[in-house]
Amino acid sequence: MGYRVAVVGATGNVGREMLNILAEREFPVDDIVALASRKSLGTEVSFGDRTLRTEDLDTFDFTGWDMALFAIGSDATKKYAPAAARAGCVVIDNSSLYRYDPDVPLIVPEVNPDAIEGYARKNIIANPNCSTAQMVVALKPLHDRARIRRVVVSTYQSVSGSGKEAMDELWNQTKGLYVPGQEVEPSVYPKQIAFNVIPHIDVFLDDGQTKEEWKMVAETKKILDPAIKVTATCVRVPVFVGHSEAVNIEFEEDLDEAEARDILREAPGILVVDKREPGGYVTPVECVGEYATYVSRIRQDPTIDNGLNIWVVSDNLRKGAALNAVQIAELLGRRVLRKGDVPAEAAN
């Protein structure tokens, strides 16, 4: 016996990745439906070797469905997620709507799997921000060993985090710079993204942070440890897919780089690529389509006691969004619903 699964927002970048990953990881599905807004009704999407036609989210009845993976904006989620939850379908939400709700668990399965038990309060589970997800996967095993006091992170985030329109803007701006008459003015972003970097993701807050930076602080505290101090600078870069992060960590206890490297090599969800030679590290190009969170450039920070620097790279459409949602679904199946067996290899 398997699960009845709905993918909401199935025509978007993340929704399509959710369907791909459910198929790749052989999630035990008895029935699956692709849902989208009325304007996308009938659009064909792939699920393994099957083709699904999207159905109308507005009229869909979630009664009898086990779980719904939501990949739509917060406004639409606010309308449809509570209805699905009331119908008995567990919602796994990729938007930011429920991440900071104390009655909704915010989960990265490699980091805080026990939080899954709190799903029943609202029948909703939140998926974290893409930049937070990959960072806490790398921080968790180090925190368990030496207790993290403070994190300083600078992100290098790809345009796919802003959606298809942003990817199109990067592509068209890049071409336009070389073809007279085809120049493209910024519309998705406030400044040119082609051959440029923009230190501004989401809206500005009163204290000078952007909301993306605030998210990394708040979510790390909720997922990993409220005592950890976090400061972030989030930057959009002209990369199509794959987020990178330079992470500086201050520990309460001594932890040398050799032991940290060994710990990370053994940690779930992480691949260490750390050779001190040209090319001995991972860049976004290599991580696209992969499940892992990659860690490179592991080295001591000699300017502080118990300091370490690491470089963290991951496919933001996968671990930063769709993969993490599917891993939550697997965790929900193994620990709570227990209706169908998740394959052993998918448990990692």
Cα–Cα nearest to 40, from 10, 15, 68 = 10
Of the residues 89, 130, 234, 287, only one is catalytic, namely 130
CA distance 294 to 286: 10
The pair phi, psi for residue 22, each rounded to 5°, is -55, -40
Q: Give the residue ranges of the annotated binding site for phosphate.
A: 99
Quote the CA–CA distance of 268 and 259 in Å, as a whole number.
16
Selected catalytic residue, list 143, 234, 243, 287: 243
> Is the Cα dihedral 161, 163, 166, 167 positive or negative?
positive
Q: Which residues are annotated as a binding site for substrate?
A: 157, 236
- Rounded CA gap, 230 and 102, in Å? 20
Q: What pairing do the DSSP bridges indicate for beta strands 307-314 and 293-300?
A: antiparallel
Q: Say which residue the tokens 């459409």 belong to.
A: 317
Alpha-carbon distance of 182 to 42, in angstroms, equals 33
Residues making up the annotated binding site are: 11-14, 39-40, 99, 157, 160-161, 236, 316
CA 18 vs CA 5, 12, 32, 76, 317: distances in Å: 11, 10, 12, 18, 9
DSSP character string of 122-187: TTEEEPPPHHHHHHHHHHHHHHHHH-EEEEEEEEEE-GGGG-HHHHHHHHHHHHHTTSTT-----S
Binding residue numbers for NADP(+)? 11-14, 39-40, 160-161, 316
Are 91 and 112 contacting, i.e. CB atoms less than 8 angstroms apart?
A: no
- Please report how the helices 323-332 and 13-24 are oriented relative to each other, as an axis angle in degrees rounded to 10: 50
243: annotated active-site residue: yes
Please list the active-site residues: 130, 243
